[in-house]
Each structure stands twice: as structure tokens, then as C-alpha cells.
């Protein structure tokens, strides 16, 4: 695309830190990204929902996922018929909004924004926007398995419907008219919640149930739910991939199917537990396919949280729209809820990490879950045992792995290399990636993307890794260890290894945290060996304290018949030092030093070690212009096959007995 201008109206927008994100509707739907240059510009942003605008900038295609198993933003956009992003330089107003529905939504958002302390919860529970939760709180809700309570779904729609129907009945509106009025209001409510999958399911289901009741069609509830699915997928097939919709529809399907069993339980607490247990069981495959973990305690936690949110926070949030003075009251309940959630999440009890399963395994899960729930309804709970066995096997899947492998994780302009040994004999992460932030307070986002927490840890969970035996930090630059704090705080790390050079600021800060967490750490120098499983990692550098890059730990591994050299950010001077100390050094796979900088990977070094493959971890369009064309040409002239994370995404190398197999995340 060569377009430099686009026009349309603002369907939705979000300001987070210095970033403005607009969903523009025109000839097609386009995501607009714009960065405010000053705090004053941000605070005086003049546009509202529905405004017609003209935007100057550059069109670009969204990037596909570059890390195995993780969320693919490009596919997500394509499924929602969004094919381009637009990097904006300037935004002009063509005309103000004249659409009533956008005016109402804009006024509601402004009203909620002015409520005060509980604004983030009112936004989540009234219009389905949970982006403003504090990061630590949102993480605790997800860990405890209660995030779904803050996504508008069937219970919320039912509550709204009952209240509106009651009010209409009080003012003596005819029954059929009451239902039509509620359906109309709920359809508008779908717009207010930006057509969230779970809301669409709930509204269409309620509407069909109402028509069934009004016109005495006598259609079974479960058939109406199936009709709901059919109608929604006709109009919006992408809902099939919407995680919220998957949760909402499948849980509703099972609850409707087993409603007689649920209704037969008269004790409220026991009934709530059974509902939570069924919902938990049904959600297991969805959770492991998208988040790679479950919390076994979530059915019990939900027994406490469901009534708290449904009968206290949710009604109060709607009342707060009419009576903003209730803000302090809601906030008191919020504080209690958040503290309980944070406390439960810090206990780390009940978490089970489960690798992303193939589709056939998901089907097997649902077969065993269906059998288990069906027999549970007749009190034959032992039929859940096969499901427990499957979860146990799945949880220990890495004990069945036959071959070791390395993954060069795409972390942008930085290094992060994961090594896994067969039969779960050892897991090593070498470097974490990271970057230095120069943002001012007004530029900082509510939920800042963190490579360690949002990429590396989810990737590790997606392949079923429960702990790291070693976290090796080659040196103290931010692009190699900037995410180490996030890793050790949020993941199980047995031991951290530093180089033996002088400690820099990041290394000192990390050591303070390691002491608090009682995590062992050590310092590596030339001649040291780390033995893990049947593999030895030989340290070839540092041999003396020089500078941060040249102090990088250099590791040499031999796995089966294959040799690997991981060089950190060393320069050609250290390369010379290494081949002098190890003149017979030969390598099959070379991790190119310093992201392909011309200061590394000398001709002499290549001629001596004679690599077959060269892996270059490097960021796309980086400001250093890495890798250097000189290095690329040097490698090519020596018949070395080159792979880069900037073009290939994450790179997985499976070490076989006689050959290696290479897979890349990007095509």
C-alpha cells in the first residue's frame, strides 16, 4: 500500500500513555496508531466518537506472530476484516459527530471517567472495558481464574433484563411490548460494549428466548442456544476464534444441558460450587490452548467471588451511573476484592502449567469432560479420573521428549536463547532481552508490554516448561538482561549465572532481588563447566575483566555429534583470544556476536570455526542497522546458512542424532 491519507469516522479510540489507538471506519476498517509528542497535545485531544477525520501518515501491514504458540495479532485482525494498520503523523477534523448512538456512548464514557476511584470497575462491568485495571490486579484475577467475572456475559444481561422488565411492568407496559423494548435496549447495549463476543451471545440468546416465550414456539432452551450459535456465526464467523465467545457459549451449553441436575441441588453454596466446577471443567481446554495454565482452586475461589461480583459490585456499578456519590462505597468493596485476589495469587497454589495442545488433544479433553460431567450428575464422580490422568500426563509431557532443542526467541533488538534437554533433564535460558525506557510519566502506559512477562514466560509455559534450572546472563546490557527481574519474580528459577567481570547497575539490582527471593547465583569464567543432564556447557570467556560486551559469557556445547557456540556480544578481539586459546575449535551452529555488528564475526574467526549455520538475534529496522552487510557477505562467502530473528522470527533448532531440524515462527 502507498496511501498517505485515510478518511473515516472514529468507531472507537483509546489513549494509553503517549499512544493513541483509533479504530477507523471508512471504506474499510483500519487501526490507526498515533503517538503524542507532548503532554499538552495529549491533554487537549479534541476528537470524540463518531467524528469524521482525515489522517496523514503511512499504511503498513500488520506483522504475524514471531514467537511460537503465542497470540497472532495479524490473524486476529484479518479475522475481524482489518487488513491494514496506519502509522499516523497528523489528524484533521472533517466534521463533528452527528450519529446519536456515538453521542450517547461518548457521554456515558465521559460520565464514567468522572466517577472517581472506582472508574475502572464501573467501565469493566458496565461497558466491558477492563483495560484500566492495574497490571498486578489483572494478573491476579487471571491466575485465580476469575477474569471472566469482569467480562460482560449472560449473568449481566440477565440482571439488566430483569431490572428493565420489572420497571416496565410497574408502569403497566404490555408484556410483549416489554420484551421488545428490552431487546431493543440490549441491541444498543451490544454497541456500547463494542460487540464483545460474550455480550452478543447473551443478547441474541435472550432475544430468541423471549420470542420463544411470547409466541409459544415451545422450542427447547438448548436448541435455542444452538440456533444462537448458528445466527451469530452467519453474521460474524470470526466469533468462532473469539476466546470470550468460546468461554461464554461452551459454558452456557453445558449449564443449560445440566440445568435439571443443577436445579436439584437446594443448598445455595453447593449449587454455586457445582456451577463453578462445571464452568471450570468446560474452560480447561480453552485455558490451556490460550493461556497454557489452569488453577485447580478456581472452582472454590469462584464460589466466593461470583456472588461478590454478581450481587454487590455489578449492581452497585450500574447504580453509580445514576448516583456517583456511591463511588466510595464501591471502592471499599473493590479494595477487599483486590486484596483477597492478590493474596491468593501470591500463594501460587493450584497452578498447573500445560503445554499448548494439538487440536486432537482438545477434542479428547472435551470427550472426557463431557463423560465426567454426565456421570457427575448421577453422583459417579470416579468418571472424572480419566480426565485427571490426562491432565497429569499433559503436565509431564516433557518427560516424553526425545531430542534436545534450542529456541532463539525473537525479543527484538536483544538476545534470549532457550535450551531444553530430552526427558525434562534440564532447561536453560540464556539472556532475557530487554530495552531501556526513556519515557516521561505522562508517556507511560497502564499495562506496559514487558518482553519477559508477556513473551518469554508465556512461550515457556506454551511448551510446558515449569522451571528453569539455569538463567545465564551473558553480560549486563539491557538488551541481554533487562527482563531478568521480571523473569525471576514471575517464574520458577533455580539458579542465576553472571559473568565474572565487574558488576554493572542492572546486575547489582538483580542480585539484591535474588537475595530477597533466596535464589542461588554464581559467576562464570573461562574454564568453568556447567553440567546439566548429559550435556556440558563449557565457558570460553571471560578470561579477564575488560568491558561489558567483551566480558560476555561465551558457551560451547556439544550435543550428540553437533557443536554450538553462543557468543554474547563479544568483539573480534575476544574472538581472536578464543581461537588462540582453542585452536581446534569447530562449530556447527554459531550464534553471531553482537547482533551481527561489524565489530564481531571476523573473517579469521569464521575460517577457523567453520560454522554451518549462523543465527543472528536482531530487531527489525533497528537504529544500529544490524546486522552489518559486511558480516552477512562474509558469512555467505563461507557458505554459512544465515537465519535472523528479524526476518525468520523465533528459530527452533532440534538436535537429532545425525542431523538438525530447523523451524521458524515466521514464513
Q: What is the mean pLDDT of residues 529-540?
A: 94
User: Looking up cell 479428547, which residue turns up?
Assistant: 364
Q: Which positions ≥6 away from 293 have C-beta within 8 Å?
A: 287, 351, 352, 353, 354, 461
- Percentage of the chain exceeding pLDDT 70: 99
Fold of 5-98: OB fold (Dihydrolipoamide Acetyltransferase, E2P) (2.40.50)
Check if the beta carbon of residue 504 is closer than 8 Å to that of residue 482. no
C-alpha cell at 633: 557477505
Q: What is the pLDDT of residues 357-414, one digit of tens each?
A: 999 999 999 999 999 999 999 989 999 999 999 999 999 999 999 999 999 999 999 9
CA distance 635 to 633: 5
**For the chain, which residues make up each domain, given as ranges?**
5-98, 120-267+293-347, 399-664
In the predicted structure, residue 430 carries a pLDDT above the cut 60 = yes
Reduce the DSSP state of residue 435 to 3 states and report it: coil
Task: Specify the pLDDT at position 446.
Answer: 74
CA distance 184 to 597: 62
Fold of 399-664: Metallo-beta-lactamase; Chain A (3.60.15)
pLDDT bracket for residue 534 (50, 70, 90): confident
Q: What is the pLDDT of residues 536-575, one digit of tens each?
A: 999 999 999 889 999 999 999 999 999 999 999 999 999 9
pLDDT bracket for residue 268 (50, 70, 90): confident
pLDDT bracket for residue 220 (50, 70, 90): very high
pTM, full prediction: 0.94
Task: Specify the pLDDT at position 444.
Answer: 79
Distances (CA, A) of 88 to 33, 40, 108: 6, 18, 27
pLDDT bracket for residue 667 (50, 70, 90): low
Helices 175-192, 154-170: axis angle to 10 degrees equals 140
Task: Specify the pLDDT at position 1.
Answer: 46
Q: What is the pLDDT of residues 66-100, one digit of tens each?
A: 999 999 999 999 999 999 999 999 999 999 999 99
pLDDT bracket for residue 178 (50, 70, 90): very high
Q: What is the pLDDT of residues 226-262, one digit of tens each?
A: 999 999 999 999 999 999 999 999 999 999 999 999 9
Four-point Cα dihedral 355, 154, 219, 369, nearest 10: 20
C-alpha cell at 349: 497454589
Q: What is the pLDDT of residues 454-511, one digit of tens each?
A: 999 999 999 999 999 999 999 999 999 999 999 999 999 999 999 999 999 999 999 9
Q: What is the pLDDT of residues 16-41, one digit of tens each?
A: 889 999 999 998 999 999 999 999 99
pLDDT, mean over the chain: 93
Burial (CB count within 10 angstroms: exposed 0-12, middle 13-18, buried 19+), residue 118:
buried
User: Looking up cell 548429559, which residue turns up?
Assistant: 534
Distances (CA, A) of 386 to 281, 359, 368, 379: 13, 19, 7, 16
Q: What is the pLDDT of residues 643-659, one digit of tens each?
A: 999 999 999 999 999 99
Amino acid at each position: 500500500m502507498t496511501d498517505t491519507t485515510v478518511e473515516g469516522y472514529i468507531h472507537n479510540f483509546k489513549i494509553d500513555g503517549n499512544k493513541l489507538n483509533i479504530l477507523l471506519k471508512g471504506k474499510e476498517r483500519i487501526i490507526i496508531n498515533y503517538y503524542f509528542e507532548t503532554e499538552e497535545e495529549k491533554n487537549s485531544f479534541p476528537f470524540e466518537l463518531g467524528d469524521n477525520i482525515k489522517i496523514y501518515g503511512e499504511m503498513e501491514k500488520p506483522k504475524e506472530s514471531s514467537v511460537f504458540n503465542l497470540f497472532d495479532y495479524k490473524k486476529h485482525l484479518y479475522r475481524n476484516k482489518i487488513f491494514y494498520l496506519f502509522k499516523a503523523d497528523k489528524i484533521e477534523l472533517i466534521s463533528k459527530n452527528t450519529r446519536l448512538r456515538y453521542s450517547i456512548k461518548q457521554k456515558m464514557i465521559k460520565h464514567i471517567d468522572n466517577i472517581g476511584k472506582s472508574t475502572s470497575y464501573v467501565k469493566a462491568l458496565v461497558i466491558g472495558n477492563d483495560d484500566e485495571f492495574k497490571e498486578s490486579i489483572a494478573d491476579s484475577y487471571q491466575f485465580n481464574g476469575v477474569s471472566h467475572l469482569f467480562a460482560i456475559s449472560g449473568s449481566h444481561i440477565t440482571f439488566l433484563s430483569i431490572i428493565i422488565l420489572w420497571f416496565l411492568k410497574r408502569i403497566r407496559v404490555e408484556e410483549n411490548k416489554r420484551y421488545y423494548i428490552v431487546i431493543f435496549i440490549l441491541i444498543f447495549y451490544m454497541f456500547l460494549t463494542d460487540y464483545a463476543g460474550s455480550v452478543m451471545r447473551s443478547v441474541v440468546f435472550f432475544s430468541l428466548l423471549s420470542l420463544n416465550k411470547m409466541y409459544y414456539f415451545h422450542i427447547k432452551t438448548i436448541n435455542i442456544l444452538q440456533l444462537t450459535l448458528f445466527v451469530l456465526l452467519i453474521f460474524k464467523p470470526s466469533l468462532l476464534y473469539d476466546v470470550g465467545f468460546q468461554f461464554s457459549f461452551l459454558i452456557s451449553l453445558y449449564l443449560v444441558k445440566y440445568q435439571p441436575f443443577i436445579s436439584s441441588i437446594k443448598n445455595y453454596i453447593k449449587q454455586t460450587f457445582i456451577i463453578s466446577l462445571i464452568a471450570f471443567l468446560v474452560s480447561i481446554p480453552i485455558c490451556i490452548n490460550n493461556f497454557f495454565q489452569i488453577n485447580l482452586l478456581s472452582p472454590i475461589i469462584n464460589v466466593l467471588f461470583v456472588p461478590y461480583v454478581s450481587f454487590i459490585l455489578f449492581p452497585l456499578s450500574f447504580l453509580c451511573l445514576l448516583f456517583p456519590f456511591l463511588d466510595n462505597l464501591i471502592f471499599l468493596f473493590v479494595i477487599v476484592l483486590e486484596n483477597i485476589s492478590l493474596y491468593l495469587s501470591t500463594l501460587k497454589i493450584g497452578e498447573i502449567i500445560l503445554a499448548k495442545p494439538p487440536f486432537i488433544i482438545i477434542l479428547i479433553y472435551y470427550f472426557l469432560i463431557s463423560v465426567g460431567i454426565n456421570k457427575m450428575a448421577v453422583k459417579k464422580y470416579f468418571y472424572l479420573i480419566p480426565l485427571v490422568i490426562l491432565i497429569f500426563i499433559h503436565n509431564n509431557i516433557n518427560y516424553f521428549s526425545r531430542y534436545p532443542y534450542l529456541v532463539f526467541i525473537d525479543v527484538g533488538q536483544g538476545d534470549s536463547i532457550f535450551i531444553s534437554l530430552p526427558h525434562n533433564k534440564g532447561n536453560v535460558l540464556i539472556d532475557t532481552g530487554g530495552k531501556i525506557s526513556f519515557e516521561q510519566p505522562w508517556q507511560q502506559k497502564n499495562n506496559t508490554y514487558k518482553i519477559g512477562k508477556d513473551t518469554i514466560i508465556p512461550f515457556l509455559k506454551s511448551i510446558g516448561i515449569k522451571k528453569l534450572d539455569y538463567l545465564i546472563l551473558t553480560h549486563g546490557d539491557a538488551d541481554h538482561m533487562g527482563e531478568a527481574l521480571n523473569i525471576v519474580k514471575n517464574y520458577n528459577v533455580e539458579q542465576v549465572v553472571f559473568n565474572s567481570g565487574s558488576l554493572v547497575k542492572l546486575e547489582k539490582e538483580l542480585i539484591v532481588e535474588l537475595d530477597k527471593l533466596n535464589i542461588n547465583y554464581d559467576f562464570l569464567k573461562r574454564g568453568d563447566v556447567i553440567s546439566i543432564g548429559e550435556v556440558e556447557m563449557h565457558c570460553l570467556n571471560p578470561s579477564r575483566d575488560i568491558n561489558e560486551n567483551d566480558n560476555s559469557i561465551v558457551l560451547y556445547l556439544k550435543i550428540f555429534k553437533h557443536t554450538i557456540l553462543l557468543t554474547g556480544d563479544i568483539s573480534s578481539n575476544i574472538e581472536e583470544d578464543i581461537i588462540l586459546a582453542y585452536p581446534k575449535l569447530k562449530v556447527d551452529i554459531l550464534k553471531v556476536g553482537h547482533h551481527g555488528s561489524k565489530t564481531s564475526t571476523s573473517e579469521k574467526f569464521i575460517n577457523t570455526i567453520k560454522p554451518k549455520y549462523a543465527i543472528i538475534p536482531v530487531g527489525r529496522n533497528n537504529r544500529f542497522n544490524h546486522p552489518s552487510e559486511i558480516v552477512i557477505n562474509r558469512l555467505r562467502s563461507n557458505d554459512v546458512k544465515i537465519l535472523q530473528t528479524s526476518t525468520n522470527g523465533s528459530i527452533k533448532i532440534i538436535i537429532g542424532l545425525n542431523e538438525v531440524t530447523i523451524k521458524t515462527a515466521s514464513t
